[in-house]
Chain A
């Protein structure tokens, strides 16, 4: 049989049992509708953040430069969730980036290397901050007894962080840190401004396992943010002092850095920026922009939530699959004689199998298509309602998005589910004995 004949025949057979077909189709419709809505909202939110990140305006492009060892998100911790208490038996933060940059590499970034005929590293890079791979033990408020794990990195003025209270770190600061709101809270300050000017202690362990507490002053409180994983910033000399203590007199370690932050010249065009990046890649550096790092975080969250929702829709579809199996089974019983006749006239087992499974797939196709259209209509209406109410003022946020590829994906997925649902009834049809089927009254 030809594939078009399978499709047409299946379509005709379905149409003959209008009521039964429509009842089964309703189940598929609901599944498809749910899936297109859950997936649609996932896409919408994802698109929004992708757009936001790519259009985020910053005067300078800031590159995070490391050795060519893959970044892993665990390294920077997560800005949400609770901060674990310090446990001397355990490593402090989950990860410690062993992507060491040498002093040479750090110097290279600030050198006069030519990138191309009209661009040199010196022109492109405005400033470079090489960060120490400092690993502190804990941060604590001496007024209270609890100690919390933390990760302190050097403050880079070009990274403009918002402030809730206090001020940013300046060049002349000594022993100054800026903490995020949640650190302020767990350190015992109810309001951000309560923390400003207060002294807290940072515990650092030297190679002989002696912990020294460095008193530091909180000069500012920033909102919880993805930047730096929401961890505290300290002024350069403070971080250097702590690092020196942590590594003891190991000269080699003193000359190694966890990575560098390269602030590119604000006049660079996008093309120039990518030139710089590919040049650095060729020189065995790994680069990432802030947007990329933050984006990875947000998108991971969104994707997780989206798949959670989709899973729910898939359960609905699973239920619909049993409806399909049932419908096809009834169809097989009803058409026993017809199937027997076809076998007698030379149809193969395979022909019969596909005749029945095509019926399921066509059923799935229509259910999916109508469900998808329904989802798009409802989603579009909800999007415009949302844009005028809860999302008012947030430009460019379409709550539900239905990109063509994932819409096709939904339809294909449902057709596939329908096919799987039809396998058992179709095998039953295939195994019918043509003689018995012909004698069947």
Chain B
């Protein structure tokens, strides 16, 4: 299998005026297509930062990120936007739905950004909502959903563009165990059926266990792979 995402001697330092803080130290890691990767670590260890750099939301201070062998330094703004829009799916720690918009529009957002005509994108969003079992909530405002429902909407949104990779930042962090399990099962199902790479940040050992590759972070360093 070919390497999809590779990090080489990656360091990320946050500079706040005179203060600087190194959130990631010398990270080396590679992820193959279709792999399941768990990023595990204590709060503040740099999990979200790592995910942001990997998914081109943030840029490294030193070292390199390679997407299918291409260095991030050779990927321009436009291509980065396109990659995030078409090749990546995102699930964030705090859902990040637009609360006042209805569920359908929330799911269709990546396609709207891509310029897909509204009839077509609504159709696609509907079919994904069906998959996550929220077809009946289609016209509900996102604010009115329960936590588990919100996260399932977020999953539907992450999948609406048929991504190659899903980045999920503590997808179950705000959910009870039972609901969390449902969400994880859904993600696993997509990973297996469509061979979508799954990069998931988690505290939860049960979730970590189902991933073949586990990356343990501590103070911005990989302690165990």
Q: Do A and B bind each other?
A: yes
Hey, which bits of chain A sit against chain B, CB under 8 A?
1-2, 4-5, 9, 12, 16, 337-338, 341-342, 344-349, 351, 434-435, 438
Contact between chains at B92 and A346 (CB < 8 Å): no
Given A344-B84, A346-B84, A438-B92, decide whether A2 and B109 contact each other with a Cβ distance below 8 A.
no
Q: How far is the CA of A342 from the CA of B81 in the complex (A)?
A: 10
CB distance from A244 to the nearest CB of B (A): 83
Contact between chains at A434 and B57 (CB < 8 Å): yes
Given A344-B84, A346-B82, A346-B86, decide whether A438 and B96 contact each other with a Cβ distance below 8 A.
yes
Count A-B contacts at CB 8 Å. 56
Contact between chains at A1 and B57 (CB < 8 Å): no
New A-B contacts (4) at CB < 8 Å, excluding given A341-B109, A344-B92, A345-B113: A12-B101, A344-B90, A349-B77, A438-B57
Residues of B within 8 A of A342 (CB): 109, 113
Residues of A within 8 A of B82 (CB): 346
Closest residue of A by beta carbon distance from B93: A438
Hey, which bits of chain B sit against chain A, CB under 8 A?
52, 57-58, 77-78, 81-86, 88, 90, 92, 96, 98, 100-101, 109-110, 112-115, 117-118
Residues of A within 8 A of B88 (CB): 346
Closest residue of B by beta carbon distance from A349: B77
Q: Which listed residue, B57, B86, B98, B101, touches A344 by the CB 8 Å rule?
A: B57
CB distance from B111 to the nearest CB of A (A): 10
Q: Which listed residue, B85, B100, B117, touches A345 by the CB 8 Å rule?
A: B85
Q: Which listed residue, A2, A12, A345, A347, touches B90 by the CB 8 Å rule?
A: A345
Residues of A within 8 A of B84 (CB): 344-346
Q: Which of A337, A346, A348, A438 has the most CB of B within 10 A?
A: A346
A selection of 25 A-B contacts at a CB cut-off of 8 Å is A1-B112, A2-B112, A2-B115, A5-B112, A9-B112, A12-B101, A337-B96, A341-B92, A341-B109, A344-B90, A344-B92, A346-B81, A346-B82, A346-B84, A346-B88, A347-B81, A348-B77, A348-B81, A351-B113, A434-B57, A435-B52, A435-B58, A438-B57, A438-B92, A438-B96
Given A16-B100, A435-B58, decide whether A346 and B115 contact each other with a Cβ distance below 8 A.
no
Residues of B within 8 A of A349 (CB): 77
Contact between chains at A341 and B98 (CB < 8 Å): yes
Q: Which of B84, B88, B112, B115 has the most CB of A within 10 A?
A: B112
CB distance from B220 to the nearest CB of A (A): 16
Q: How far is the CA of A85 from the CA of B92 in the complex (A)?
A: 85
Residues of A within 8 A of B98 (CB): 338, 341
Q: How far is the CA of A126 from the CA of B109 in the complex (A)?
A: 79
